[in-house]
Homo-oligomer: A and B are copies of this chain.
Amino acid sequence: MSLKGACIFGQSGGPTSVINASAYGVFSEALKNPDITRVLGAAHGIKGVLNDELFDISLEDERELELLKSTPSSALGSCRYKLKDPTADDSDYKRILEIFKKYDVRYFFYNGGNDSMDTCNKISKYMLSQGYECRVVGIPKTIDNDLYGTDHCPGYGSAAKYIAATCAEIYRDATVYDTGAITVIEAMGRNAGWLTAASALAELSGCGPDLIYLPELPFDVDAFMAQVSACYKEKGNCVAVISEGIKDKEGVFIAEYASKDGAADAFGHKQMGGSAAYLAQRVKDETGAKVRAIEFSLMQRCAAHVASKTDVDEAVLMGAEAVRAATSGVTDKMVAIKRASGEEYKAEVELLDLSVVANTEKKFPLEWIDEKGTGIKKAFFDYALPLIAGENPYCWENGVPRFAALKKIKAR
C-alpha cells in the first residue's frame, strides 16, 4: 500500500474563511508523513498545475503556516477553471500528467465545492485510465453547504455564524427608531438556502428576522410585498432576509427582474446579486416607508475575524484526514463529515466516491421551512447550532488582522 512521492494541494472556487485551515491540515500532516517526499502548493488551483506554478511548502515558516488557520480567502490563489470532457479534448489532462511525472506527484488533494469535485473526479479517472498511480482525494469547501453526501461543509459554519451575528446586530440597529423602517437583507446561495436560513439563528439573540425567503420555494413578489407590509404595519418595523437565488414560479431569478445583463461564468452560472435592492425599491415605492437594502456580499465568506471554532477545527481535520486516507491507500474519494448519532454533537470522517459527489447539489430540506414559507423550523436550529459554536482565535496585530504571509517560493 505504501506509495512514495510528492503531493500537490490546490484551492479552487469561491474562497471561504476557513479554506486555508484545510490547507493547514494538509500541509502539517503531509510535511510529517514519511511517504510524502515533497509538499507542493498549486498557484490558483488546477491552473497552477497546468502552468507549472507550484510552491515548495517545506520552505515556509511554521508560524506562518499556523496563521493559515485564521487567514481568509485562498492563500495559494483560486480559480474557476472547468476541465473539458477528456473524450472531447484531453490536452489539459496530458499536461497535468506531464507535470505529475515531472515532480513525481503521487498524491493530489483538491479543496473546493461542486465544480472542484468535478475537476477532482475527472483527474482521478484520467490517471486511472492512463495507469499512472496517483491517489486523488477531494476536500470539501463551500459556504453554500450544498455539497452532496457530507452532513455539512467546511466554510458553512463560519459563514452561518457571520450571518447570524450580523443579522442580530443589524436588527438592533434597523429597529432603533420609533419611526419604523423596512430592511431587506440579501445572503448568498445560488440554489440552496442554507446561508439564508442561518439568519434565523439570530432569534437566539432575541433579534431574528421577521421574514425569510429561501430559493427552494418559488418567490412571489406580490406575496412578498403583502407580507412585508403586514409585518411593518403590525410591528412598526420589518427585517426580511432573501437568498440571492430566489426565483419566481417560472424559474426567472428576481435578480434578473432588475438587471437584464446576467453575465455567465465558466460554469454557466449567471452573476447574481441585486435582488434586495430591487425589492427594497419596490417596497419603498409601495409603502413610502424608510427602506434599506443590505447585501452581505463578500463579507459573509471572508469575515474570518468571526469564524466558528468548530468550523475551523473541522476544516483542519478534513485536510489532515485527506492526507492520512491517501497515504493509507485511499483514492478517488472525497473526505466528508458524518454526524455521529447521540445527544452530543460529534463529527466523524467518512469517504465518498468522487463521482457521486461531483455536480450533485444538496438543497435545504423543505420540511424545515414553516407552513407560511417565511420561517425556519427548530430542526434546522438543532442541525446548525453545533456548526457555529465557539469563536476561533483571530490574530490581531496593532488593531488590524495579521494574516499568514507565505513566501511562495516556486518549486523547481
Contacts and interface: CB of A to CB of B under 8 A. Distances in A.
A73 B176 contact: yes
Interface of A is mostly: mixed
Nearest to A285: B261
B295 A295 contact: yes
A294 B297 contact: yes
A165 interface: yes
A298 B164 contact: no
A389 B298 CA distance: 25
Contact of A305 (B277, B306, B400): B306
B306 A306 contact: yes
A86 interface: no
Contacts of A168: 400-401, 403
A201 B80 contact: no
Contacts of A201: 399-400
Number of copies: 2
A174 interface: yes
B78 A176 contact: yes
A26 to B, nearest CB: 18
A188 interface: no
Given A44-B177, A176-B78, A403 B207 contact: yes
Interface of A: 15, 43-44, 47, 71-74, 77-80, 161, 164-166, 168-170, 172-174, 176-179, 183, 201-202, 204-207, 273, 277, 292, 294-295, 297-299, 301-306, 308, 385, 388-391, 396-403, 405
17 contacts: A15-B176, A44-B178, A47-B178, A72-B172, A77-B178, A80-B177, A165-B400, A166-B299, A168-B401, A172-B302, A174-B298, A207-B403, A273-B292, A292-B297, A294-B295, A385-B399, A391-B396
Given A47-B178, A173-B302, 9 more contacts: A79-B179, A161-B399, A164-B399, A165-B401, A172-B403, A205-B400, A273-B292, A295-B295, A295-B297
